[in-house]
Amino acid sequence: MKIIIVGTGISGLTAYHFLHRFLTPLLPNLQIDAYESYKSPSIGIGGTLGLAPNGLYTIKLISQEAHSAILASGFPCAKFEFRNSNGKVLGLMSTGSPDRYPGTGGEVMHSRAAIYGEILKVLEEQGARIHYGKTVVGVVPKEEGVEVTFKDGEVVMADLVIGADGIKSTVRKAAFPGVEARFEGLVGVGSTITYSAVPSSEHPKEIPYDYKNSKYSPTVMTFGSNGFFGYSPINSKTGDEGRYQWWSTAESDSEDRDLPIEEIERQLLERHKDWVNPEGEKVIDSIIRFAIQQHKDSAETDRSKRILVLPNYFMQTMEQYHSDDGKILLMGDSAHVMPPHSGQGVSLASEDGYVYARLLAHEIQRTKAAESKDYKTALSTAGKYYTEMRKPRSDKIMAIAAKSGNMKRNLSWWEEKSRDFFFGLFLRFAPDSIHDGTFGYKVDEEVDKFLSTKS
C-alpha cells in the first residue's frame, strides 16, 4: 500500500506518525511519503498559540519525550484573565488545569515552531520519508488509485492521498471543488518579545505560576469597542531568556499579509492608544512600540522577531472529509478551518491523524486487505467512519469559535456594554467543567468506543 501525505505541518507529521505506527504491523509493503512545498523543514515559521489539554494528550500518544519537552519549554497556564480596554477585569476563565485533566499537563502557551520541532524530531528518528521543495499542482482520482502531479513535472500514483495542506488546500480543491476557505473580515497581528518589554506590573507574581490559588492570570485577554489585544508568557523564564507573545485582532477589509511595517504601526497605535490595564498603565501601547522597533531592527536577520499579519479564515462546514471511494481524505485546516479564536487548531489536527490511522488499521484487518491487496472496501469504510467521528466535534468547535470571533469586531457603545456585562456574568458563574467536552477528549478512548459499536 502506498500513501501520500500532502503537507508536513503539524497535521501532516501527526498523520504520518500514526499511520506508520498502526499500519506497519499489518502491511509489510507499506510506503508512506510526505511532500512539502517548502524547501526545508519549517523550523522557526509561524506564530504562537495556546495548546489545549486534548492536544497535549494526543502528542503524548506520539511521544512521551516530545510531550515532556513541550511542557518544559512552554508556559503552563490554567486560567485566562479577561479585561475591557478601560482596565476593568471582567473575570477569570479556567482553561484546563493539570489536576482537572490529569496526564495532559494542562493548557500551555507556546510557539508553533517549538511544537512542530518536537514532533518532527520523532519522525526523523523513525526515518520518515519527507520530500521538501515538492509542490503539488494536481490530484486526480483514477480507477487504480490517485494520481498526484508535482510542479516539477513528476507524477506519482498512490492508493491513498491525505490532504494536510492547510487553509488553501490543493487536495481539497481537487476532491471537493467549490469548497474554499474565505476571509472572515478579521486580521490578527502579533509577534514575540522579551520578558523585559512587558511592564513588571503584568509579570507572573510567581514562577511556576500558581494556578490553584491565583486571583489573576498573566495571560491577559483585553476587549475593546474596536478589537482585541492579548499577551502572555510563552516560557517560564525571566530576564533575557523570558519570552512573551502578543496579538491584536480587529476588523479589516484587507487580507494582505505583506503590509509595510509603517502601516502596521499606524493601525496598531491608533486602535490601542487609549487602552489601559487595571492600574491605568498603557501596557498595550508599550508592548506595541517595543515590538515595532524590534521588527524594524531585527526582522531581516531574526525571523522570531518579525511581526506577522495573519488574516482569519472560515469555511462552510463540509458534508464529509473523504471522497466517496475513500481514496482522498482531508485533515486539519484542509478539512475544518479553525479560526485562532478556537484555540483548537493544532489539537484537532493531531486528533485527526490518530483517529484515521486507527480506523484504517481496523478496516484493513476486518477486510483482510493485507492478504488480498485490495484496499477499496477498507478505504471506503474508514473514510466514512472518519467523517462520522470527526465532523460533529469539529463543527461544534468551529461554531463556538465563530461566536468568540464576533466579540472582536467593531461594536457600538451599547453592544460593548452588553458584551462586558454578560461576559462578566458568564465568567463569574462558569464552572471549571465548562471545557470538559473539548479538553477532556481522550482520542484513543473515543476510537475504542466508536469501534465497539461497529464490530
Query: Domains in the chain: how many in total?
Result: 1
Say which range, 40-49, 347-356, 367-376, 398-407, has the weakest mean pLDDT.
Answer: 40-49
Q: pLDDT > 90: what percent of the chain?
A: 82
In a domain, 170, yes or no: yes
Q: How far apart are CA 284 and CA 261, in angstroms?
A: 18
403 HSE (CA, 13 A, CB side)? 7
In a domain, 154, yes or no: yes
Q: How far apart are CA 349 and CA 10, in angstroms?
A: 7
CA dist 176 to 162, 170, 318, 322, Å?
13, 10, 9, 9
Residue 178 DSSP label: T
Residue-level pLDDT at 301 = 87
Residue-level pLDDT at 232 = 96
Q: Is 434 exposed, middle or buried (0-12, 13-18, 19+ CB in 10 A)?
A: middle
C-alpha closest to that of 349 among 18, 67, 44:
18
Pairing of strands 160-163, 155-158: unpaired
Say how many residues make up the chain. 455
Q: Print the SS3 string covering 77-134.
A: CCEEEEEECCCCEEEEEECCCCCCCCCCCCCEEEEHHHHHHHHHHHHHHHCCCEEECC
Residue-level pLDDT at 340 = 81
In this structure, how many other beta carbons lie within 10 angstroms of the beta carbon of residue 102?
11
Q: How far apart are the first and last CA of the chain?
A: 24
What's the rounded mean pLDDT across residues 379-388?
98
In a domain, 152, yes or no: yes
What CATH number is attached to the domain comprising 8?
3.50.50.60
Q: Which residues pair with 158 in a beta bridge?
A: 146
Q: How far apart are CA 185 and CA 339, in angstroms?
A: 12
* Average pLDDT score over the chain: 94
Q: pLDDT > 70: what percent of the chain?
A: 99
What's the rounded mean pLDDT across residues 44-60?
88
3 state SS of 73: helix
Residue-level pLDDT at 96 = 87
In a domain, 139, yes or no: yes
Q: What is the DSSP string of 35-71?
A: EESSSS--TT-S-EEEEPHHHHHHHHHH-HHHHHHHH
CA dist 237 to 75, 204, 245, Å?
9, 10, 13
Peptide bond connecting 208 to the previous residue in cis, omega within 30 degrees of 0 = yes
Residue-level pLDDT at 199 = 93
In a domain, 112, yes or no: yes
CA dist 27 to 30, 156, 260, 335, 361, Å?
5, 20, 52, 27, 9
Q: In this structure, which amino acid lies at residue 454?
A: K
Q: How far apart are CA 208 and CA 74, in angstroms?
A: 11
What's the rounded mean pLDDT across residues 363-388?
96
* All three cell numbers of 211: 494556578
Residue-level pLDDT at 43 = 64
Q: Are 89 and 83 in contact (CB under 8 A)?
A: yes
C-alpha closest to that of 251 among 397, 400, 399, 411:
411
Sheet holding 328-330, edge to edge: 130-132, 31-36, 2-6, 160-163, 328-330
In a domain, 409, yes or no: yes
In a domain, 305, yes or no: no
Residue-level pLDDT at 409 = 94
Residue-level pLDDT at 342 = 82
pLDDT of 160-210, one tens digit each?
999 999 999 999 999 899 899 999 999 999 999 999 999 999 998 887 777
Q: How far apart are CA 119 and CA 15, in angstroms?
A: 11
Q: Are 161 and 132 in contact (CB under 8 A)?
A: no
Any idea which residue has 461566536 for its cell?
403
Residue 360 lies in domain? 2-74+108-182+315-427+447-452
- In the predicted structure, residue 46 carries a pLDDT above the cut 70: no
pLDDT of 115-154, one tens digit each?
999 999 999 999 999 999 999 999 999 999 999 999 999 9
Confidence of residue 45 (pLDDT cuts 50, 70, 90): low
In a domain, 330, yes or no: yes
- In the predicted structure, residue 214 carries a pLDDT above the cut 90: no
pLDDT of 285-296, one tens digit each?
999 999 999 999
Q: Which residues pair with 243 in a beta bridge?
A: 194
Residue-level pLDDT at 44 = 60
What's the rounded mean pLDDT across residues 318-325?
95
